[in-house]
Structures are given as C-alpha cells and as structure tokens.
Amino acid sequence: MALKDLLVHLDPHPRCSVRLGIAATLARRFNASLTGVQAIDLPSAEFFYGAAMPLLSGGSERVVDEMRARAVAIARPVEAAFRERLRIDGLDGGYRLVEGNLPATVALHARYADLTVLAQVNPYAPHEGIGRDATVVTTVMSSGRPILVVPFAGDFSSVGDRVLVAWNSSREAARAVNDCLPILEKASMVTVLAVNPRHGIGGHGDVPGADIALHLARHGVRAEAAHTRANDIPEGEALLSYAADIGADLIVAGAYGHSRAREVVFGGVTRTLLGEMTVPVFLSH
C-alpha cells in the first residue's frame, strides 16, 4: 500500500497551520494528493422553535442563514491558507467546505483517504467543548482508515523518521503496523516496544516483538524489538516515557483494543496517548 491520498481537517484554530504543515510534508514525501476538509456545524431551523421563537426577528430560517454566512466568512482565510500551502509546496489537492456534524462529517470523508491528519484537543482549554475527542474517536472507530493525531502543543520538524511502534500482539496493533508500513519503510529508526509482554497463546512469543520485527524486515524495515516492564505506571505513560528516551518523533498504536466505554471508566493506552501525547500518534482500529 502507498499513501497517495491524504486528508487534513482544517479549522480557524491557531494550531491549524502546524497540522497543515505536517500533512503537507507527508504529501510531499509520498507524492500524494492532499485534501483539506472544513465543516460548518449548524443547528437546524427547527432547533429554534419553542420558547425562544418570539425573541427571533425574521424567523428561524433567517437566523440559520446568518450563522451560515458568518461561518463561511470565517472559513475563507483558512481556505486561502490551505490553497497557498498547496501552491508553495507544488501539491495536488483540493478544498472542501461541508455542512454537517463535525465528527460524522470528517469520518465520512476519511473513508476516501489513505490517512487523515487531525488535532489533539487541548485538555486545558474548556472552550474546546463537550466531547473534546469526538472527532478523533469517531474517525478512527468508524472510518475504517488510520489517522494521525497532532499534539495541541509543540513544533515538529520531522514526523516518521524515528518511530516507536506500540506492540501488544493484538488485532488493532497488527492493523496499525500494516496501515503504517509506507511510513515505516522510509523511517531511519523503528523500535517495536512490548510493554508488560504476555506469554502463551495470543501472547508475544519467546522474544517479545521479535515476530513482528521479522515481518517488518521482510518489508525492508529495519526494526529493533524491545520490551519493558511497567509495574508502577500505566502502560500508556510507559510508552510516552520510552518515546522520549529514544527521541521518537512518531508513535504507532492500535486504537481501543478494549471498548471505549471501558477506557473512559478505567483508563487505557489509547486514552492516555490521546490525552498526554508529546509527539504525533498514528492510530488504527
């Protein structure tokens, strides 16, 4: 598989330029087309019927039309910045301004791309709303495609040169490794890390990570197998610590090996990565 069709979610947020920069860099690296999608999420006119109706001048349809006009005006500079990036980098691509629920809209468009670049939501910014990770979670869980999540803070001069693969021998981890093969093949360093490896059927084998490292070697990826014990900290935090220790610029992981409801209640690796990432994270489900 090759990465030939990339999608990036665009919005008026100041960090959008970082996300776009990473998406454009990947598009150049793989000679891929880059599409930017921006969503306008408006209430229906029926939303305003009821107690609030007497306060509206001109009717609910007019209110929605005015909201749409404001949203389109806000979107224009974002579109201009995206098209300018395509021009400067000599990239093929296009811009889409669509109306609809943001998580569902991005997930829908992601089905027609090899990889979608999204933003981690800043957990320290309450104004970023209820269900802060809804777009990321909906896209990875329902699009059938991988995503790349960019941290809410930091600058990233390289992504995918020094890669840490989170390996737990699960279906989701295997899917993530397969989806990320084009990036792994171009990386200068790939480390496959098993945290608290299991043995026996469904486990890691005699040498944790060795089997998947051998599989990667057959694809021309020089991968080093490693394992560690994390008895005092959650596995997700152990992954982030190891990534910092080796200077990784990308973490690859399977998303939600447990149900998302279980992770919300009890915590889990995916939840930790989405909440505390310090480098971009490539996720597949």
- Give pLDDT tens digits for 255-269: 987 665 545 543 589
Tokens of 46: 């029926």
Q: At 234, is the pLDDT very low, low, confident or very high (cuts 50, 70, 90)? A: confident
Tokens of 66: 């005015």
Task: Return left, alpha or beta for 90; rule: phi > 0 is left, psi -120 to 50 is alpha, else beta.
Answer: left
**pLDDT greater than 60 at residue 22:** yes
Q: At 201, is the pLDDT very low, low, confident or very high (cuts 50, 70, 90)? A: very low
Q: At 63, is the pLDDT very low, low, confident or very high (cuts 50, 70, 90)? A: confident
Average pLDDT over residues 76-90: 97
Q: Report the sign of the C-alpha dihedral through residues 5, 8, 9, 12, in that order.
A: negative
Residue 52, pLDDT score: 53
End-to-end CA distance of the chain: 17
**pLDDT greater than 80 at residue 203:** no
Q: What is the pLDDT of residues 153-162, one digit of tens each?
A: 999 999 999 9
Residue 49, pLDDT score: 53
Residue 51, pLDDT score: 47
Check if the beta carbon of residue 114 is closer than 8 Å to that of residue 30: no
Tokens of 172: 């989701």
**pLDDT greater than 90 at residue 47:** no
Q: At 54, is the pLDDT very low, low, confident or very high (cuts 50, 70, 90)? A: low
Dmax of the chain from CA atoms? 72
Residues 25 and 133: their CA atoms lie apart, in Å, by: 24
Q: Which residues contact 21 (CB under 8 A, 6 or more apart)?
A: 85
Q: Which residues contact 34 (CB under 8 A, 6 or more apart)?
A: 6, 7, 8, 23, 24, 27, 86, 91, 92, 93
Q: At 30, is the pLDDT very low, low, confident or very high (cuts 50, 70, 90)? A: very high
Q: What is the mean pLDDT of the chain?
A: 87
Check if the beta carbon of residue 12 is closer than 8 Å to that of residue 41: no
Using CA atoms in the order 137, 175, 98, 81, what is the torsion angle rounded to 10 degrees?
100
Residue 227, pLDDT score: 87
Q: Report the sign of the C-alpha dihedral through residues 28, 29, 33, 34, in that order.
A: negative
Residue 66, pLDDT score: 87
- Count CB atoms within 10 A of the CB of residue 165: 31
Q: What is the pLDDT of residues 85-132, one digit of tens each?
A: 999 999 999 999 999 999 999 999 999 999 999 999 887 876 664 555
Tokens of 213: 């490292």
**Phi, psi angles (nearest 5°) of residue 173:** -65, -40
| Ordered structural domains, the chain, with CATH | 5-150 (3.40.50.620), 162-284 (3.40.50.620)
**pLDDT greater than 50 at residue 77:** yes
Average pLDDT over residues 145-164: 96
Alpha-helical (H) ranges within 145-227 are 171-179, 181-186, 210-217
Q: Which residues contact 271 (CB under 8 A, 6 or more apart)?
A: 236, 263, 264
